[in-house]
Structure 1
């Protein structure tokens, strides 16, 4: 799971007092392998990305331990930490007693059972573990030298995209069938950085969540981006902005649109972004095919080093307009458009209205074929 998964989890802790002050009526009973008697076990909830709030502790005895769970009025993301073991076991506290099987040598493979939410979380983690193993195996099929071959690189990237599409389809189905379960929000958050899903799909998927889930702290956090028109959304008129070109001249979005193209693609990227490097050949090919038919592109780089920015432009043959303030994520355009991951793009019509967001790979080609293919 990506780091955003854990970052977003932090907003779940809305009231520690309400969680800890009620009578403890449930418990988690676990079996654990290859851990000495007396090993401490800690039960916590996550307050932010780096801070766990401990609520209780226990000790391993004869390969088992038991933790009391506080009564809660909503599903709460919780953690078990075992002294001397790297990583945590994640689970959902939802006023039910639970059982667990913990594997210290493969902590992510641990299983917590006893409620629907934990079954969903366990199944999802198992699925992601299998997909990650497949991705590793996929990358190991090729040597560094082979991946320098454009044909092999294209084949590899096609396999990666097929895998990403399968992961998106699986996650979307889980969310649609579990619209009121806290893990569905985690699954949704994991989709954000995948190149195989568009903003409009994320917007529609967020709409599948129950009102109860949307009103949780985490649901509200995600809703700021995907549930309503904050920043820029499909149907909005794009915000104008300006920055410096590689030649040091000021260039605005409006000036690029005034060049007479029928559509303008704003592409947020950076030379250091691996997903951007994978995606950029697709953008280059689309530009070559549709530029003369009416497609303009304005790339906004999140680089900090000018030489790396300029070298990447030349390397990929990105023969369109570029701007950057060379200050990474601390960029007015990034804040204006509320960009949270890259590559991210916004497709505008000739009136500056956003008609699609986060088009990548085959989706970008398909959209431009639909708009300009017959011209």
Structure 2
């Protein structure tokens, strides 16, 4: 419809131009002025392919502000806003050089509408409720794919929430065990169905950036739909196909960088698949202390050593370190040495933390945890992790914390 209007307008203005140009020719005999005038009119009436128009009607949101954001460096950045009319209509024109994700929301923090726009798209949106959660999108195949993804996840979460409500309502029932068993079976079926839907979606749309959203869908912050270790081929398929089409697209390149990082983590997890077991000997490697020296455990005296691995961002690690302070005060006089290795920090930042928290044990750091020979050698793939070894390096325990750590030390150092 829009194209027909443009064509009709073009020919109407062209007739006027030709007529005026012919008259000008008769009067001035100037071909050049007619040509320039004709080109100016043509340029004005042809829709530019690097523009995207987003328009629509939001029922229940009259004279409300809509906030438009896009993803930049894995962050959502606000770039424009528009106010709806008294009937809920809005329109915004964007200059777009390449495909990208754009979100629309009624406030700056929540963006229920996600669009995948391409240069030249003329997108129409109709939202049927004030929260924008129920909307339809036309004129953008990529946005329609994204809409189907979000709808499927919304439906899946609603089904899971329904199961949770049923379980909570029957906690006091004498049949709670059988009800829980039935709910668990239904839950597994819901999860499998949604995963199969996403798997088929990605296989059917490997050249669409919408598949990036499908691959990184998550039920919550701790439970992604796909596991990179198990679904690596699917992630890499989308990476290779998107790069073949959108090699200069920042969004696709960001995804490619993420895949490289996940590949690095995967390869290291394979290398570090199993920590050393009790009875094996801990390798005598150099630990990079914050003092600039390398510490070899066969170069210091101790009865037992606790080598503890933590991350500065890890809340559980922080709790363990707080508890470790009490343990250290109790068992250091009996011959316990603690060597704590912090991942993902620089020596300067770790030195500041050590001074602030008055950490009296040995402190080492590994700034690049993805490319660390130390972690490879010691087979450390997750945090928090630890080894307890005797003076000959023989491992006595692994991955103990809290009361279990104190109990083991009480056996070793009575």
Deviations 1:301-328 (A, max 9, x none): 9624349999xxxxxxxxxxxxx97999
- Answer yes or no: is the 8 Å Cα contact 1:200–1:234 preserved in 2: no
Distance in 1 (CA, whole Å) between partners of 2:109 and 2:239 is 37
2:130 counterpart SS class: helix
Secondary structure of residue in 1 paired with 2:213: helix
Q: Is contact 1:39-1:82 (8 Å) kept?
A: yes
SS in 2 for 1:62: coil
Q: Match of 1:46?
A: 71
**Counterpart pick for 1:28 among 17, 33, 54:** 54
Aligned to 2:127: 102
Question: Is residue 139 of structure 2 the alignment partner of residue 124 of structure 1?
Answer: no
Q: How many residues align?
A: 256
Report if aligned partners of 1:58, 1:67 keep a CA contact under 8 Å in 2: no
* 1:92-241 alignment runs, 5 A limit: 92-95=116-119, 96-143=121-168, 146=171, 152-190=179-217, 194=223, 197-209=226-238, 211=240, 213-214=242-243, 215=247, 216-224=249-257, 226=259, 229-233=263-267, 236-238=270-272
Q: Distance in 1 between matches of 2:179 and 2:370?
A: 36
Match of 2:319 among 305, 324, 327: 305
- Counterpart Cα distance in 2 of 1:156 and 1:328: 40
The TM-score with structure 1 as length reference comes to 0.54
2: distance between equivalents of 1:44 and 1:120? 19
Inter-CA distance 235–103: structure 2 relative to 1 (3 Å threshold): same
Write out the 4+ residue segments of structure 1 that deviate beyond 6 Å after TM superposition.
307-310, 324-335
Q: Return the index of the structure with the highest Cα Rg.
A: 2
Question: How many Å apart are 1:35 and its aligned residue?
Answer: 2.4
In 2 relative to 1, CA 129–99 (structure 1 residues): closer, same or farther, beyond 3 Å?
A: same
Provide the alpha-carbon RMSD of the alignment.
Answer: 4.7
- Could you tell me how far 1:217 is from its partner in structure 2? 3.8
SS at match of 1:60: coil
Partner of 1:315: none
Unaligned residue ranges in structure 1 (runs of 5+) = 1-21, 241-252, 260-298, 311-323, 339-343, 346-375
1:133, 1:140 → 2: CA distance?
A: 11
TM-score using structure 2 length: 0.49
The question of whether the paired residues in 1 share the 8 Å contact of 2:50 and 2:95 is answered with: yes
Helix, strand or coil: the match of 1:180?
coil
Q: CA deviation at 1:198?
A: 3.8
Q: CA deviation at 1:152?
A: 4.9
Is the 1:27–1:68 Cα contact (8 Å) retained in structure 2? yes
Change (3 A) 1:196 1:325: farther
Q: Distance in 2 between matches of 1:202 and 1:208?
A: 10
- In the alignment, structure 2 segments of 5+ residues that lack a partner are 1-47, 282-308, 325-338, 346-363, 372-380, 383-414
Offset, 1:233: 2.4
**Greater relative contact order (Cα < 8 A, sep 6+):** 1
